């Protein structure tokens, strides 16, 4: 059955639409932190549809909200007043930390970042964007143009002039051997030097933890230090919270809060987990920035009633059940368990991350040379053991990505860690 579906997939879908595994699987249903494939095999899900099923599969509260809303009206567009959209916008504006915030809903993180770029370049009258090396911001023409990850940037053509900044990858690059204080200072000096050689940029866009890049991050406080430099020049700071938002890091509700010395960003973008699988993205910005457009605009499917109902139910659930705290507690246990397991595997260069956002970088033993074949082998072995994880990284996809739903419990964390330990040992 899967071979037939795979053949049909290849016959009508693009070659570049990647599939995991030598024998791709079809996921038919899920419950909690588990999913089942078409052959009836059960898996512990440690990737959640690329961090999108953030809370749990088939969460009753979300399912009920979607079903009830579908029985009333599914969609009407932004040309009409929409109570669920206003309700969710009010909640997100308050949670964002951005003063006088306005919220615009989209259907994806790509579209959210695309909107943030439109706002920043219009507000600042500049098409120059600062972005981080090893970054990923989406697959639209403009967001590909600011993506600093070769494996996810299929064209160098862009409507923007993009300048890439040091700092998003703590363990590699020219400043890797410095301590955190000197690392931040060196990155700030590099930013100042860069700004001295270019016309004033519109904005810096940065993921607090780089998602597709393999869950890499700078020392806490780097973006606060950057912002002080940028603020003096009027340059905006956009925090791409598509993967870090809603408490996944455990320590903070938003990733930018690890860099909060100079206050919130001018804009933040979000997507993925807020809908727990439903297509929601968006931008939060200060009113003066959000309202800078002087032409009409709508969002046909952004903010549609059924997705807003899902978002409200999911947001209520994760706040009422303190899933941020759960990510901190269970994620802390999981990362320590994985670090202990990886200590006996020479091919593991680093286990990094925070909360339920953990990266395992694979290299050829005794070197810093990326080993994507080893990462793929571990991915396959984990699946064989009943665990689904992801891949990423700016060095030829050599990092494993571990990002379970935020309701993960201790027993499931232990089970997943044991399967992953066996998978890591199997490649030696």
CA within 13 Å, CB half, 118: 18
Please state the rounded mean pLDDT for residues 276-305: 96
d(CA 346, CA 364): 8
Q: What is the pLDDT of residue 52?
A: 96
Q: Are 224 and 260 in contact (CB under 8 A)?
A: yes
Give the pLDDT of residue 353: 96
How much is the pLDDT for 268? Answer: 98
- Looking at residue 144, its pLDDT comes to 87
Is the per-residue pLDDT at 222 higher than 90?
A: yes
Question: Could you report the per-residue pLDDT of 50-81, keeping only the tens digit for each?
Answer: 999 999 999 999 999 999 999 999 999 999 99
3-state DSSP assignment of residue 427: coil
What CATH number has the domain spanning 64-320?
A: 3.40.640.10
Joined tokens for residue 5: 């579906």
CB 391 within 8 A of CB 379: yes
- The answer to whether residues 178 and 210 touch, using CB atoms and an 8 Å cutoff, is no
Question: What was the pLDDT predicted at 1?
Answer: 54
User: What is the CA 45 to chain-centroid distance, rounded?
Assistant: 17
Phi then psi dihedrals of residue 190, to 5 deg: -65, -40
With a pLDDT cut of 70, the percent of the chain lying above it is: 100
| Residue 292 burial (CB count, 10 A) | 16
Is pLDDT of 107 > 90? yes
Measured from the Cβ of residue 417, the count of other Cβ atoms closer than 10 Å reads: 21
The answer to whether 208 and 241 have CB atoms below 8 angstroms apart is yes
Q: Quick check: 276 pLDDT over 80? A: yes
The tens digit of pLDDT for each residue in 80-101 reads 999 999 999 999 999 999 999 9
How does pLDDT run across 307-356, given as a tens digit for each residue? Answer: 999 999 999 999 999 999 999 999 999 999 999 999 999 999 999 999 99
> How do residues 260-269 score in pLDDT, each as one tens digit?
877 899 999 9
pLDDT at 55: 98
In the chain, count H helices and then E strands: 13, 15
CATH 3.40.640.10 segments of the chain:
64-320
Tell me the residue length of the chain: 428
> What was the pLDDT predicted at 202?
98
CATH 3.90.1150.10 residue ranges of the chain are 2-58+322-426
Residue 206 has which token pair? 């940065």
**Region 235-252: what's the mean pLDDT?**
97
Contact of 205 with 243, CB cutoff 8 Å: no
At a CB cut-off of 8 Å and minimum separation 6, what does 257 contact? 97, 251
Average pLDDT, the chain: 95
Is 209 within 8 Å of 226 (Cβ atoms)? no
Domain 2-58+322-426 has CATH 3.80.30.20: no
**pLDDT cut 90: percent of the chain above it:** 89
pLDDT for residue 246 = 96
Taking the C-alpha atoms of residue 98 and residue 35, their distance in angstroms, rounded to an integer, is: 37
Whole-angstrom distance, CA of residue 406 vs CA of residue 384: 24
Place of tokens 């340059």: 235
Distances (CA, A) of 259 to 184, 221, 248, 320, 330: 12, 4, 16, 26, 23
Query: Residue 395: pLDDT above 80?
Result: no
Pairing mode of beta strands 281-286, 348-354: unpaired
């Amino acid at each position: 059955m899967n071979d037939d579906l795979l053949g049909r997939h290849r016959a009508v879908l693009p070659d570049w639409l990647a599939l995991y595994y030598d024998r791709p699987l079809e996921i038919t249903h899920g419950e909690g932190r588990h999913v089942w494939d078409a052959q009836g095999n059960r898996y512990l899900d440690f990737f959640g549809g690329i961090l999108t099923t953030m809370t749990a599969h088939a969460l009753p509260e979300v399912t009920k909200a979607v079903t009830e809303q579908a029985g009333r009206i599914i969609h009407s567009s932004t040309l009409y007043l929409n109570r669920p959209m206003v309700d969710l916008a009010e909640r997100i504006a308050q949670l964002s930390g951005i003063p006088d915030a306005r919220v615009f809903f989209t259907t994806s993180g790509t579209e959210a970042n695309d909107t943030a770029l439109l706002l920043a370049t219009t507000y600042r009258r500049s098409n120059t964007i600062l972005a981080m090396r090893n970054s990923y911001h989406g697959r639209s023409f403009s967001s590909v143009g600011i993506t600093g990850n070769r494996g996810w940037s299929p064209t160098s053509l862009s409507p923007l002039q993009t300048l890439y900044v040091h700092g998003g990858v703590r363990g590699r690059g020219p400043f890797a051997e410095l301590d955190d204080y000197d690392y931040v200072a060196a990155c700030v000096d590099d930013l100042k030097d860069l700004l001295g050689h270019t016309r004033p940029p519109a904005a810096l866009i940065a993921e607090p933890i780089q998602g597709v890049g393999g869950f890499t991050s700078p020392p806490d406080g780097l973006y606060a230090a950057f912002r002080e430099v940028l603020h003096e020049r009027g340059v905006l700071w956009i925090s791409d919270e598509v993967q870090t938002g809603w408490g996944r890091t455990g320590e903070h509700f938003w990733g930018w809060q690890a860099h909060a010395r100079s206050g919130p960003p001018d804009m933040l973008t979000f997507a993925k987990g807020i809908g727990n699988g439903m297509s929601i993205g968006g931008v939060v910005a200060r009113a003066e920035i959000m309202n800078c457009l002087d032409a009409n605009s709508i969002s046909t499917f952004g903010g549609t009633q059924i997705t807003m109902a899902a978002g409200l139910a999911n947001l209520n659930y994760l706040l009422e059940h303190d899933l941020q705290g759960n990510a901190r507690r269970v994620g802390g246990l999981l990362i320590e368990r994985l670090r202990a397991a990886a200590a006996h595997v020479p091919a593991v260069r680093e286990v990094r991350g925070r909360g339920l956002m953990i990266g395992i970088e694979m290299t050829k033993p005794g070197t810093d040379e990326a080993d994507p074949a080893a990462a793929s082998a571990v991915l396959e072995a984990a699946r064989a053991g009943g665990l689904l994880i992801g891949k990423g990284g700016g060095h030829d996809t050599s990092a494993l990505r571990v990002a379970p739903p935020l309701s993960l419990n201790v027993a499931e964390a232990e089970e997943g860690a044991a399967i992953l330990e066996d998978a890591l040992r199997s490649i030696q």
